[in-house]
Structure 1
């Protein structure tokens, strides 16, 4: 199979077709079809359409790769949410295409970034994507299938793919990072993929490895020079902060060896750094624009209220099972049942299976039956710590809460279900006496 140059030219392809027709003494249409097939395209018109878009839009062109048209509607909403959060990378395409920060504006931006004049023409393109032969879509399918050998072959045939971007600026290395398969990432890095490349949200492969708590991938990317101080989804959204948001201690500790950025109170609390918590840092509330890892969480506007900053730090200490930091912050006025953003300290500790923090919070007076919010709007309303521990199969935490008097009969507001019902729905056992 042939390889298209990084900047393919319709004129060159047409000349090749004419030369091949003369050399093989065949019809021009037969020569065109043969060239299209050499490049993995099912027809000459499909190859022409692809090359024309690349010619017109250059390296900034985004390539469709997912065959579900609703996928792009979701990506448009995600881009809009990130732009509304103030993420520079997400705001730029709205400015470039002079579109408003609305649902329709976001769809227009996504279409234009893909080289199409309207949302409808992008959708029409996507419906035939699986048969289009476009190399980026083919490579994406290999990533999704975790076909390491197949991916190695296609990036060898089309080496420019490792620098090509898909929808919302996602590249193959970022996609491979999301599969949790370090082998795919190794193939792409060896082929020249850039580990510092972020998508339209500023999200890099290192952010994704932190999000998924993948120490092997983290170290691989760091060894390849992946930057640790880059923010995504708002100022202060470094890979370290992403790891701490989810209570991924192993990932956080690897990243903290390289940088403590952004160096605010919630980072100090999540790392259990009492030395930093004790300092009267003027920046303790700085760089907190990052507050959600994706648009599945609702929008929020943080404040500079010292009480809010302390309460948020307590939540981050709890989800990372930092008992000494929990004690330190409560002793200095942090409210033990405060729900700063989608979850009390006890709710987050229960979700992450942070048994030591759960015990300490209960000991310090946390309400084991507190009914609050958690996660996305379709997930947590009126939930208790018992619901969240049950959903995630944390049997030790369930026992701690039950022994502390948590009421297993309470039902949440969205699904009208008890903690035991949440456990059964998630396929986890309920503890027996």
Structure 2
């Protein structure tokens, strides 16, 4: 049996693969045993009835992990080198971590786990209609993992994983060497900072975007360091987009404001998603509001709902109540926004799914008018488009009491458990409100849940 889902070279040649398809077609027609095995592995008995050049092209595409020749060809024609791909989603994990994920998935597939079967059907074309996962192989599990993390083949995932690991090691070493300069930033020592080069300034600005990136310091919504010191770094910086993204993820509200004033582009997608998409998924409503003032990117139903723009939400529907086709611009892979322990199944264009995503983000950010409007349009209060998390789950960590009250009034079930934490609404209170058990809002949420629990 052939080893499919092979990686492409850094600069693939479409002409090369056209010749490979012709060679495969010729070899199969002449009875070559290896060619027959490759074709049967993809096409099964169908090849015995007819095997054209287009079928050989399809086999080749499948062997590289693509659904068909057209998709495979388009990828080759538009593909940049592996070295140019963003690596943020891989957070420095080495290839061994992904191999372990694939092994674990294969074990789930072999025992025909329903969730594993859904993932297999979503990402491996030849299993798209499978009713059992027990025939899946390691190469299939590897392709699922690769595509869940946004890569077309296993080989490309491993190549970029190693690049990501090296990049993280280099960044950590840069930060270690800038310990004194970081202390100068905290102390407002503008003279020392003025002597830095652009790369050092970029690194410090990146460090300033995280809550605990500077050793011994916890940074929150306030800027946390002297403004004059940051201005010195900004005057030398060559990259404002990376710190903006990480500041949006980390709820560094005043730093986000400062970066925007300095010219950071809120629509930049260098790392796979905009700052607004990051802020939405991480639940940082103050950052969401700030970014929305500078430009709502992307413009889609789910971002409108998260930003509380009921007027724009309503405009996503035609007069007959049909969701407009442009309401679902491409949604980011949750791995790209650093908000997922595991990527979900790929999103669809199904209106109910699009509306469900908008609904839970409105709950997450306390946009009660949007929540009420979507409920009135027939959205069920227990929709859970991400990891089994309902609107109640999303509204509990930020303590959106009025949203929680509304959801319960409309029939939300507080006993439902999410897929990752396996916790119901009361469990989420204990997990996400544990640091403030005596907060009046925590008590209100607990009382509401207790009243509605069976």
TM-score (norm 1): 0.58
On the 8 A contact 2:184/2:190 being kept in 1, the answer is: no
Q: What's the CA shift string for 1:373-421, capped at 9, x where partnerless?
A: 3xxx4xx1x201222223323652443343443689x9xxxxxxxxxxx
Q: Secondary structure at the match of 1:299?
A: coil
1:210 maps to 248
Give me the whole-angstrom Cα distance separating, in 2, the residues matched to 1:320 and 1:188: 30
Q: What's the CA shift string for 1:93-116, capped at 9, x where partnerless?
A: x99xx96312x76236644x69xx
Report the RMSD for the aligned CA atoms in angstroms: 3.9
1:106 maps to 161
On the 8 A contact 1:139/1:151 being kept in 2, the answer is: no
Q: What's the CA shift string for 1:143-173, capped at 9, x where partnerless?
A: 3x68524875654444243366xxxxxx321
Q: 1:289 aligns with which of 298, 310, 332?
A: 332
Q: 1:327 aligns with which of 350, 372, 381?
A: 372
On the 8 A contact 1:173/1:195 being kept in 2, the answer is: no
1:172 maps to 204
On the 8 A contact 1:321/1:357 being kept in 2, the answer is: yes
1:349 and 2:395 equivalent?
yes
Deviation of 1:196 (Å): 4.3
Give me the whole-angstrom Cα distance separating, in 2, the residues matched to 1:362 and 1:238: 33
Aligned length: 294
1:309 maps to 354
Structure 2 unaligned regions, length at least 5: 1-82, 84-89, 102-144, 212-218, 318-323
2:93 maps to 76
Q: What's the CA shift string for 1:164-207, capped at 9, x where partnerless?
A: 6xxxxxx3211111133542775354233437444xxxxx2222
The aligned runs of 1:408-419 (5 Å cut-off) are: none
Deviation of 1:320 (Å): 0.7
2:264 maps to 226
Q: Tell me: CA distance 1:142–1:190, structure 2 relative to 1, closer, same or farther (3 Å).
A: closer
Q: Tell me: CA distance 1:328–1:322, structure 2 relative to 1, closer, same or farther (3 Å).
A: same
1:183 and 2:200 equivalent?
no
Structure 1 unaligned regions, length at least 5: 1-59, 61-72, 115-121, 130-134, 165-170, 199-203, 411-433
Q: What's the CA shift string for 1:254-295, capped at 9, x where partnerless?
A: 111111111111111112211111112432111202434327
Deviation of 1:246 (Å): 2.9
1:418 maps to none
1:138 and 2:181 equivalent?
no
Q: Tell me: CA distance 1:369–1:151, structure 2 relative to 1, closer, same or farther (3 Å).
A: farther
2:301 maps to 265
1:298 maps to 342
2:405 maps to 359
1:402 and 2:447 equivalent?
yes
Give me the whole-angstrom Cα distance separating, in 2, the residues matched to 1:295 and 1:368: 23
Q: Tell me: CA distance 1:401–1:275, structure 2 relative to 1, closer, same or farther (3 Å).
A: same
Q: What's the CA shift string for 1:311-369, capped at 9, x where partnerless?
A: 11110000111111111111222221122113211001012211111111111110122
2:429 maps to 389
Q: Secondary structure at the match of 2:306?
A: helix
Q: Tell me: CA distance 1:196–1:369, structure 2 relative to 1, closer, same or farther (3 Å).
A: same
On the 8 A contact 1:368/1:406 being kept in 2, the answer is: no
